[in-house]
A and B are shown apart, each in its own frame.
Chain A
């Protein structure tokens, strides 16, 4: 079997952001359900947080190819 170990590295590196994204999005859904009138603000802030967390997984994605 041929391949590169980088793929496994990427798989490991997605775990942290996956947990983080789960926490952020579940909390956002929870607060939207509690206070529907704040849904717009919560959604915007959620997307900003998601973007910051996602950056980690994206860095791993790039490094898996680049290194």
Chain B
């Protein structure tokens, strides 16, 4: 991106524009630069600081909102209860009456992903930690562990795996095709697509926001032609931000809902 800015402002080649796109996401560590664990660098960079701050903000908001919870909630507590109620609705609708005990997990997923994504639109941060694959992958692995664990606990290991791999009511010959597909889709593709869906949406959104803002920054100060382009980007910027906000909420909702769907599918045996 620095190349794009430099090329646009001072003229020159756009050569290698695609390559440093990584510079949008990869920040150098500025704290504990030399700290390593088994060759994995543990330095603190901007992404981690943003994630810490967002987590602290979410914790603070929920602590302050529910510190002296009243039976008739005020506006602040009412808002938080609305968020929890949304997840309760997801759990009860999809998993069934037994789903109430997953409400804390689903609420954590929803609020956490929403907050981490929201860092994309907050001035000064302007970078979603979820656009680094580590975050979505961790959340997806957590979801995977929960729905496989629930399946094993509710139905027993053999029954659960057998029900998933050999769905009843299918001609025996079809198992040759069906079993590998079910194996791949249930135990590999589900967590993988959960992670990649969130990751890809956040990467694309971050690039979109950066390109809109840097178009304004580069073109608006220059003379007539550039002024039109920059002005157009300036008018477009709120629309882009609104669209990104919609994507942020939608991705948090979809992640939560799919986790509920997967938990629900391993709660009950196939009939």
User: Is B196 in contact with A61, judged by CB distance below 8 angstroms?
Assistant: yes
User: Is B197 in contact with A58, judged by CB distance below 8 angstroms?
Assistant: yes
User: Is B193 in contact with A44, judged by CB distance below 8 angstroms?
Assistant: no
Q: How far is the CB of B258 from chain A (nearest CB, A)?
A: 6
| Chain B interface, DSSP helix/strand/loop, else mixed | helix
Q: How far is the CB of B87 from chain A (nearest CB, A)?
A: 14
Number of A-B residue pairs having CB atoms within 8 Å of each other in the complex: 31
Complex: how many Å from CA A62 to CA B93? 32
Render A19-51 as a binary contact track against B, CB cut-off 8 A, 1 for contact. Answer: 000000000000000000000100010011001
Contact A58 B196, CB 8 Å, known A47-B257, A47-B258, A51-B254? yes
User: Is A47 in contact with B196, judged by CB distance below 8 angstroms?
Assistant: no
Interface residues on A, range: 10 to 19
Q: Which residues of the other chain, B, contact A3 by a CB distance below 8 angstroms?
A: 18
User: Is B261 in contact with A48, judged by CB distance below 8 angstroms?
Assistant: yes
Q: Which residues of the other chain, A, contact B18 by a CB distance below 8 angstroms?
A: 2-3
Taking a contact as CB atoms closer than 8 A, the residue among B15, B200, B254 that contacts A47 in the complex is B254
Q: Which of A49-67 contact B (CB under 8 A)?
A: 51, 54-55, 58-59, 61-62
Q: Which residues of the other chain, B, contact A48 by a CB distance below 8 angstroms?
A: 258, 261
Q: Which residues of the other chain, A, contact B254 by a CB distance below 8 angstroms?
A: 47, 51
Q: Which of B3-19 contact A (CB under 8 A)?
A: 15, 18
User: Is B93 in contact with A40, judged by CB distance below 8 angstroms?
Assistant: yes
User: Is A51 in contact with B258, judged by CB distance below 8 angstroms?
Assistant: yes
Taking a contact as CB atoms closer than 8 A, the residue among B15, B94, B200, B261 that contacts A58 in the complex is B200
| Chain A interface, DSSP helix/strand/loop, else mixed | helix
Interface size on B, residues (CB 8 A): 13
Q: Does B189 contact A (CB under 8 A)?
A: yes
Q: Which residues of the other chain, B, contact A62 by a CB distance below 8 angstroms?
A: 196
Taking a contact as CB atoms closer than 8 A, the residue among A2, A44, A54 that contacts B94 in the complex is A44
Q: Which residues of the other chain, B, contact A58 by a CB distance below 8 angstroms?
A: 193, 196-197, 200
User: Is B189 in contact with A44, judged by CB distance below 8 angstroms?
Assistant: no
Complex: how many Å from CA A58 to CA B193? 7
Q: Which residues of the other chain, A, contact B200 by a CB distance below 8 angstroms?
A: 58, 61
Q: Which residues of the other chain, A, contact B257 by a CB distance below 8 angstroms?
A: 44, 47
User: Is B196 in contact with A44, judged by CB distance below 8 angstroms?
Assistant: no
Q: Which residues of the other chain, A, contact B258 by a CB distance below 8 angstroms?
A: 47-48, 51
What residues of chain B have their CB less than 8 Å away from a CB belonging to chain A? 15, 18, 93-94, 189, 193, 196-197, 200, 254, 257-258, 261
11 residue pairs A–B, Cβ–Cβ below 8 Å? A2-B18, A44-B93, A44-B257, A47-B257, A47-B261, A51-B193, A51-B197, A51-B261, A55-B193, A58-B200, A61-B196
Name 20 extra pairs, CB < 8 A, besides A44-B93, A51-B197. A2-B15, A2-B18, A3-B18, A40-B93, A44-B94, A44-B257, A47-B254, A47-B257, A47-B261, A48-B258, A48-B261, A51-B193, A51-B254, A51-B261, A54-B193, A58-B193, A58-B196, A58-B200, A61-B200, A62-B196
